[in-house]
Each structure stands twice: as C-alpha cells, then as structure tokens.
A and B are shown apart, each in its own frame.
Chain A
Amino acid sequence: MESLSKLWLSTGLANFELGQVIMMLVGCGLLYLAIARSFEPLLLLPMGFGAILTNIPVAGLSEVGGLLHYIYYAGIDTGIFPLLIFMGVGAMTDFGALIANPKMLLLGAAAQFGIFATLFGAIALNFIPGIEFTLKDASAIAIIGGADGPTAIFLASKLAPELLGAIAVAAYSYMALVPIIQPPIMRALTTVEERKIEMAQLRHVTKVEKVIFPLGLVLMAILFLPAAAPLVGMFCLGNLMKESGVVDRLSSTAQNELINIVTIFLGLGVGSKLSADAFLNVETLGILALGAVAFSIGTASGVLMAKGMNKFSKAPINPLIGAAGVSAVPMAARVSNKIGLEANPHNFLLMHAMGPNVAGVIGSAVAAGILLALVG
C-alpha cells in the first residue's frame, strides 16, 4: 500500500499545478501555430515542445541537473546560440542590393525608430498597476521592433533574462505576422501613385565590393560601437565566408547544418523559459502589446522615410520598400513586392526591397549595440 501511494505521488497527475497545465496549453498553442499555420515553424516547434517539457511536474527538466537547464545556460545565457544563428544569417545574406544603392541604409535606420519609440511605451506602461519595467526590461522588450529573432534573444538574455520567454514568443510571432501587420500600415501611408513608382535597375556589384563590405562593416563596429561587435562580427564572418568563395564548405555548414542544429537548441532553450511563474502575468500581455506597437511604428517610420527620400532624391524611390527596413528577412521584402504588384502588376520591387531589408538587419544589430552600451 505504501509503495502504491509512493507510485501515485511520482506520477504527473498527482503533482500537476494549474500554472503548469496552462503553460503546457501555451506550448500546444505554439505547436499549433507552427504545424497547422506554419508560423516560423523552425523555431516555434522546438520552442512549443520545450515549453511542454519544461512544465512536466517531477521531471524537473529545467532545474539544475535537467537537460533544458544546461541547454539554456550553455547557449542562451552565454549568448552563443543567437550569435551562431546570426553567423548563419550572415552567410545567407547578399549585400549586393544594398551596395548597389547604399542610400537604402537610411531606410534601415529609420525603421529602428520602432525600437526606440517602444522603449518609451514600455516605460509608460509602468502606470498600469502590476507592471513594473525597468529601463533594462524596456530596452529588451523594445528590440522586438527590430524584427530580428536572434538579436532580440541576444539582447534579452543580456538585459532581462526573466522576460526572455515572452520576448522571444512575441518576436517570432510578430515576425510570422509581418504579412498581416504591415500591409494596412503601408496602404494607409502611401497613395496609389506612390505605390506604382518604378525604380531604376540596380547596378552590377563586383565581387571585390562584396568581399570588402563585411570587412568595412566590422571595422566600423570596432571603431565606433564595440558593444555591437558580437552581433556585427558574427554576421560579417558568415557573410565573408559566403562572399570570399574560398570556404564554400564552411559557408554551407554555417547556413545549413550549423544553423539547423543551433535552432533546435535555441528553440528548446527559449521554451525552457516558458514556465508559469515567468510567463503567466500581466507583464507578458504588456510585452505582446508593445511588440505589435514596435513593429507597426518601425514599419510606419520606414515608409515615411522612404516618402521623404522620394521627394528629395533624383532617382525615384517607391515608399513601399521603406517597410522592409524592419529586418524580418526576407518576409518584409516580399510583402513590399506584393503590395507593389497590387498597384502596378509590372513593378517588381523585390530586389529593391532587399536593400532596406538587409540594412534593417545591420540597423537592429547597431540598435542592440547602443542599448547594450547605454543600458547594459
């Protein structure tokens, strides 16, 4: 009889707490989004499953000695996983469109306004009882507006690890929602005539330029913003491996096998932060709301900047590509292309939008560096 009751006490049924059940349902929700709606499935699937695993009673997967605990501390607490992912992203990025039309960097810069405006909003949320964001928390939340998963996770792990779960969920959900969030803002801020604008064809970019660009970018990070060096450095390493053309094996590993392996661990590690006490509170709702605001402001400021540049620039600029200034590569560029095609079926903006798109990646890495330097 005694052994029977001991057995009963070792079951999940006897030890479930309400919070754990709810968090498992949240995990199932993420799995649903990943599998049925294909929202960023590569990350949300391991993340959702990680959320289920970490909330199993008795097993203690995210306590000291548990698998998820070590995955989190080895890879996310140290910042290694997001940086390795960033290297892979660098190896997949083609700066050609940006080098051909460097003015697009201004659009990538303008879209970062979403980050800094949200910082303000996060502090304003402190008026609501039950929410208390410090400046560090606010910075980590605001980076969601950069629409860059690895950057958001990197910064959150440095500035506000207790909010990491909610921030990662918000960042990746909104990145998946780019095709839904952006178009209404883009349509509202532009006229049909502006959306019809066709842009001049991009010039040819030589190999030497593509090889020197990442080196120049890293040099600038060294000189002016060393706090951004981890992100920019790994990004440029990946890009140099791709563009140099002499280490195709490394480049292909960084953009395939390595990034896939790290994505599994990153998802699991982030999922391990989805525990009831860290996730089920008013602050999470605040983070989700602020993430949407950050995204919308970033999109809007990119579009407005492009409108302004179109007024002053000799070469016509379609304001729609400004929306691609939030990173979310390549989804945001595809959205610009799609909205452009709606207004003018012969207007292919994809290559033009890739410029601000990769500029947005640099911009959000720089913004993360600034926040680390000033707040961290």
Chain B
Amino acid sequence: MNNMQQEFLEAGTLMLVGMVVVFAFLGLLILFVNLVLAKLAVRFPDPVAPSRAPSNKKNNKKADDGTASPAIVAAISGAVNRYRAQHGQSSASADNSLPQNKN
C-alpha cells in the first residue's frame, strides 16, 4: 500500500512537471514566433511585390527575346546573305586565283 502511495506521488509529480514543461516549452516557442519570426517577416517580406517583380523581369526578357528575334533573324539573315554574296565572290575570285597560282 505504501508502495502504491509512493507510485501515485511519483505519477502526480510527473504529471505536474510534465504539464509545466510542455506549457513552458511551447510558450517559449510562441515568444520565438512573435518576437523573432514576426520581425523577420517584416524585414524580409518575400510575398507579393518582390516575387512579382523578378517574374515580370523574366517575362520582359522573354518578351524581349520574342519580339527581338524576328529583327535579329532579319539582321542575321541579311548578314548571312551579304556574307554569302561576298563569300561567293571571294570564292569565285579564289577559284580565279587558283588557276592564277597554277599559272
């Protein structure tokens, strides 16, 4: 019987200590969230504005690429055409030069 009493006493203290520690631990966690995380949230607001801006930039870049590409294509094709024309001439001249060299 005495043994039982002692066990009850132990269980009782365990209950008391346990609940106090659980509340203290989670209470500290509340402080942590309120003091640290809330400040971090103010200092580093990741939400709407900043996340939109880079995505817009990306979109702009993509849009730039999209609109620029025809112009670039035109420029490149123009350059290629001119190069081909020159190259054709130069190759023709080279063809001419070869026999010249032979001669």
Interface of A toward B, CB cutoff 8 Å:
98-99, 102-103, 105-106, 108-109, 112-113, 115-117, 119-120, 122-124, 126-127, 135, 138-139, 204-209, 212-213, 216-217, 220, 224-225, 359, 362-363, 366-367, 370-371, 374-375
B46 sits at the interface (CB 8 A): yes
B53 sits at the interface (CB 8 A): no
> Which stretch (B36-44, B76-84, B95-103) binds chain A?
B36-44
- Collect the chain B residues with CB atoms within 8 Å of residue A126's CB: 4, 7
Q: Are A105 and B37 in contact (CB under 8 A)?
A: no
Q: B5 to chain A: closest CB distance in Å?
A: 10
Q: Are A102 and B29 in contact (CB under 8 A)?
A: yes
Q: B22 to chain A: closest CB distance in Å?
A: 5
Q: A268 to chain B: closest CB distance in Å?
A: 32
B34 sits at the interface (CB 8 A): yes
Given contacts A116-B18, A135-B11, A363-B22, contact A224 B28 (CB under 8 A): yes
Most buried by B among A103, A135, A209, A224: A209
- 4 A-B pairs with the lowest CB-CB distances in the bound complex, closest first: A102-B33, A116-B15, A105-B26, A208-B44
Cα separation A83 to B44 with both chains bound (whole Å): 33
Cα separation A109 to B18 with both chains bound (whole Å): 10
Q: B25 to chain A: closest CB distance in Å?
A: 5
Q: Are A208 and B46 in contact (CB under 8 A)?
A: yes
Cα separation A106 to B37 with both chains bound (whole Å): 18
Q: Are A212 and B11 in contact (CB under 8 A)?
A: no
B68 sits at the interface (CB 8 A): no
Cα separation A120 to B4 with both chains bound (whole Å): 11
B65 sits at the interface (CB 8 A): no
Cα separation A113 to B22 with both chains bound (whole Å): 9
Q: Which of A123, A205, A212, A362 contacts B36 (CB 8 A)?
A: A212
B88 sits at the interface (CB 8 A): no
Given contacts A105-B30, A120-B15, contact A224 B25 (CB under 8 A): yes
Q: Which of A127, A138, A139, A216 contacts B32 (CB 8 A)?
A: A216
Interface string of B21-63 (1 = CB under 8 A from A): 1111111111011101100110011110000000000000000
- Collect the chain A residues with CB atoms within 8 Å of residue B4's CB: 123, 126-127
Interface string of B1-24 (1 = CB under 8 A from A): 000100110111011011101111
Interface of B toward A, CB cutoff 8 Å:
4, 7-8, 10-12, 14-15, 17-19, 21-30, 32-34, 36-37, 40-41, 44-47
Cα separation A135 to B45 with both chains bound (whole Å): 49
Q: Are B22 and A112 in contact (CB under 8 A)?
A: yes
Cα separation A138 to B8 with both chains bound (whole Å): 11
Cα separation A37 to B47 with both chains bound (whole Å): 43
Q: B79 to chain A: closest CB distance in Å?
A: 43
Given contacts A363-B22, A370-B17, contact A135 B10 (CB under 8 A): yes
Cα separation A112 to B10 with both chains bound (whole Å): 18
Q: B9 to chain A: closest CB distance in Å?
A: 10
- Collect the chain B residues with CB atoms within 8 Å of residue A216's CB: 29, 32, 36-37
Cα separation A303 to B15 with both chains bound (whole Å): 19
Q: Are A217 and B29 in contact (CB under 8 A)?
A: yes
Q: Are A102 and B21 in contact (CB under 8 A)?
A: no
Q: Which of A105, A120, A374 contacts B8 (CB 8 A)?
A: A120
Name A221's closest neighbour in chain B (CB-CB): B25
Between A and B, 28 residue pairs with Cβ closer than 8 Å are A98-B33, A99-B33, A102-B30, A102-B34, A106-B23, A106-B26, A109-B26, A109-B27, A112-B22, A115-B18, A117-B15, A120-B8, A120-B12, A120-B15, A123-B11, A124-B8, A138-B11, A206-B40, A209-B40, A212-B40, A216-B36, A216-B37, A367-B22, A370-B18, A370-B21, A371-B18, A374-B17, A374-B18
